[in-house]
Each structure stands twice: as C-alpha cells, then as structure tokens.
Amino acid sequence: MLALALAFVVAAEPPRLIVLNPVAAADLAGGIELARTLGEMAGTAAVDVGGFAVLSESDLKSALDFEANRQLMGCSEGSCLAEIAEGVDARFVISGRVSPLGTTTVIYLSLFDRDKTAAVKKTQTVLSTLSQAPAAVGEAVASLLGAARSALANKPLGTKVAGVEFVDVAASNLPMDDRLVPVPAFAIARTETTVEQYQSCVKAGACTVPDRSVSPSCNGADKAQHPVNCLTWMQARDFCRFLGGRLPESVEWRAAARGGRNVTYPWGDAPPDRTRVNYCDKNCPSVLTTQELSIWRENRWIDDGADDGFAATAPVGSFGAGNNALGLVDLAGNVYEMCANDQDVGTKVMHGGSYAFTPPWMRIDAVNRTRVTAASPFVGFRCVR
Ligand SMILES: [Ca+2]
C-alpha cells in the first residue's frame, strides 16, 4: 500500500510589476499624448509576456491619493521608484523617457528592481515612424522582463556562485570631493578572483586563458589560491559575466572597501604595514624587471625594512589584520583590482595597490589606471553582482 503525503500547494502570487508612462521630453511634439500611448503599449506588452501582475500608471493613479499622484508625475529617480514600488508592494518598475532625435523618436526604458534599489536593465529603441512603436516597445519590454525573471531566479545576493563567495554591501552615500554620491546596495566577492575560480570559467568555455608569458610572476595552476593576474580588462569582464555579475564601478569598490566606515584604508586609519598588506617590501625587487627596479629605486617605492613574506602575490586572505569591516580580504595590496569605468580613453580605473606598490597606493581613494588590453602581473580583479 502506498503512503501518500498530502501537500497543499498554494499558488504563489506572481510578482508585481508597475509600468509607468515614459516621461516626454519638452521638445517632443505631442509628447504627453505619445508618452501615454507608449506607456499603454508597454503595459499591454508586459501582460502579453506574462508571469507578472502588471499595474499600469492609470491603475496606480486610481489607487493613490492626490499627493502621491502628484509625486508620480515625472518619477524616474531611484528613490522615487523605490517609494512607489514599496507603496503597492511591487518588485519591479518599468519607467523611461521619450525624446526626439533628428527625424526619429527615441524611447529609453529601464527596469528598476526594488530589492536591489537600482535599475537592472535598460533598453534604447529608435523609431523612424510611429507605426513601428508597438513591435519595438514589445521587444524592449520582453527584454526587460527577461532581466526581471533572471533577477527572480538569482539566489539572494550574499551567496556563493561558482565557488566565489559574495558579501552584501548596504546602500550608502560615498563622500567624493565635496559631495555625497549615492551607491545602491550590491554584493562583492570576498576575495580577489583566484586562479582556481578563473579556471572554472576557462573549463566552461566562457573565459580565455591569461597570457602568462608577460612575466614569471603570472600565476598558474600551481598557485590555485593566488589571485589570477596577467589578464586583460575584457577577460576580467567576461569572468564576472560568467558569474552573472560584473566588474565594480569605482564608487562601488570604494564603498565596499570602507564597509560603512569613514576610513582611509580598508582596516582603518593606521598606516599599512607587513601584517596588513602584501606590498613592495624587501622581497619585491626580486620580481621586478631591471627597468622597473631602476624606476622603483629612483622613486623610493621599495620598503627595504619590511618583510611581508611574499615577493609577488600571496594566497588570497593571507593578511587577516588587513581585512575590512565586512570581512573583505586583500582590498589593499596583493593585486590591483580593475573596475568597470573608464579613467581616460582606452584605460580603466583600478584600486588598492599591489605587491609591487607602496603604502600611498593602498589608500581607498587612491586611483590608478590600466590599459584595457594590458596584461600585468600586478593586476587582477574581483566581481560584484
Ligand atoms: Ca587587492
């Protein structure tokens, strides 16, 4: 006889999605009417794609009081979208704007994820005639909802993906120059990407092998727990994509390194020393080229009095005293960490200094740059998601 376990399956309500009318540019002829039409098209497309409980702007307006209604007009900032989503318990908001561009009309749509307090996907559609609008808006909405579905399928932020452990970083305001830059919540890898982690992407066919011919200090399989180095910015980007993540923006890297505190270095304000950082100590000259060595000597970039125990990279997490408040390791020293954003043409921002650099480069706000095509033993990365 079969013992049957009875289970009551409660159909989960589909996640709520709000579709706001795009904001019409002031110089767009018939803008308000067109924005309303496009908003309706986007709402219809979202219903057609399915999987979400769709609220249109007109549904919302009838649900909201006058004051909230007034705030809704022109709502496109994260804080405003978050408030609206919160108000009706929606996970996602599609919003955007529509502008003329020469003889064409451009529709920008973006998908805001309340859980990430950030836009997670953006589309841009150019229309030469308005008859193209229903198909084009439908395609844009389908792509936004694809991103919404993958956000729902993702594990919570602070989890392991392909052996990479992610740590949540709360939303914060980062002081830069004389202003505060809002940085939405995200998650960042606890360590620099290791050789072993990178290798899993190579095996999967999603990453290419680093060019280890550039230096004897490039890490191979015998250094599985060392940071992967000697790769281009594109290779780093591809690895982060493989994880479903991306490279950090410079402001994100800094916010993560601060870990919610107002500090000069990841661990605090005490100057770097051999217990906190793998930097250019007395072992460092042995891994510099002759040319580098003369430049380093000339600039006094070598701390001959210190011994951190490593000439080139160290296994990640070897300097516990240098951890930050979130438990992130090796933010300073070991390898430089490439970021997503440009420093100038053909170069990307990087942070944190490396085994061949000195204390001033270990400051959280110190910025260096790397050519996107360069592969250097000094440079590695970690991902965010
Ligand atoms: Ca580092």
* pLDDT above 90 for 211: yes
pLDDT of residue 351: 98
Taking the C-alpha atoms of residue 24 and residue 27, their distance in angstroms, rounded to an integer, is: 8
Q: How far is the CA of 209 from the centre of ligand 1 (A)?
A: 21
Closest CA to 337 of 376, 299, 302: 376
Q: How far is the CA of 354 from the centre of ligand 1 (A)?
A: 6
Q: How far is the CA of 154 from the centre of ligand 1 (A)?
A: 27
Sorting pLDDT into bands at 50, 70 and 90, what band is 74?
A: low
Q: How far is the CA of 251 from the centre of ligand 1 (A)?
A: 16
pLDDT of residue 79: 80
* pLDDT above 60 for 8: no
Taking the C-alpha atoms of residue 264 and residue 10, their distance in angstroms, rounded to an integer, is: 51
Q: Where are the beta strands (DSSP E) in 102-241?
A: 104-113, 118-127, 160-161, 164-169, 172-176, 179-183, 186-189
Average pLDDT of 7-27? 75
Average pLDDT of 343-350? 92
Taking the C-alpha atoms of residue 64 and residue 14, their distance in angstroms, rounded to an integer, is: 21
Q: How far is the CA of 382 from the centre of ligand 1 (A)?
A: 9
* pLDDT above 80 for 273: yes
Q: How far is the CA of 381 from the centre of ligand 1 (A)?
A: 8
Q: How far is the CA of 292 from the centre of ligand 1 (A)?
A: 20
Q: How far is the CA of 330 from the centre of ligand 1 (A)?
A: 5
Sorting pLDDT into bands at 50, 70 and 90, what band is 68?
A: low
Taking the C-alpha atoms of residue 316 and residue 236, their distance in angstroms, rounded to an integer, is: 17
* pLDDT above 80 for 328: yes
Average pLDDT of 5-15? 50
Q: Residue 134: CB partners within 8 Å, gap ≥ 6?
A: 41, 45
Average pLDDT of 329-352? 95
Q: How far is the CA of 121 from the centre of ligand 1 (A)?
A: 29
Q: How far is the CA of 339 from the centre of ligand 1 (A)?
A: 12
Sorting pLDDT into bands at 50, 70 and 90, what band is 155?
A: very low
pLDDT of residue 139: 87
The more confidently predicted of residues 73 and 283 is: 283
Q: How far is the CA of 74 from the centre of ligand 1 (A)?
A: 42
- Both tokens of residue 114? 């309340």
Q: Using one digit for the tens of pLDDT, what is the confidence trace for 21-47?
A: 999 999 888 888 999 999 999 999 998
Average pLDDT of 70-84? 76
- pTM > 0.75: yes or no: no
pLDDT of residue 76: 72
Q: How far is the CA of 350 from the centre of ligand 1 (A)?
A: 10
As to burial, measured by CB atoms within 10 angstroms (0-12 exposed, 13-18 middle, 19+ buried), residue 270 is: exposed
**Residue 245 in contact with residue 339, Cβ under 8 Å?**
no
For the beta carbon of residue 11, count every other beta carbon within 10 angstroms: 5
Q: Using one digit for the tens of pLDDT, what is the confidence trace for 214-262?
A: 999 999 999 999 999 999 999 999 999 998 889 999 999 999 999 989 9
pLDDT of residue 177: 84
Taking the C-alpha atoms of residue 81 and residue 126, their distance in angstroms, rounded to an integer, is: 25
Any idea which of 7-21, 46-60, 262-276, 287-301 has the lowest mean pLDDT?
7-21
Taking the C-alpha atoms of residue 366 and residue 95, their distance in angstroms, rounded to an integer, is: 36
Q: How far is the CA of 180 from the centre of ligand 1 (A)?
A: 25
pLDDT of residue 122: 92
Q: Using one digit for the tens of pLDDT, what is the confidence trace for 375-385?
A: 999 999 999 99
* pLDDT above 60 for 359: yes
Taking the C-alpha atoms of residue 251 and residue 1, their distance in angstroms, rounded to an integer, is: 63
All structural domains of the chain, each given as residue ranges with its CATH number in brackets, are 2-155 (3.40.50), 195-380 (3.90.1580.10)
pLDDT of residue 382: 98
* pLDDT above 70 for 6: no
pLDDT of residue 159: 65
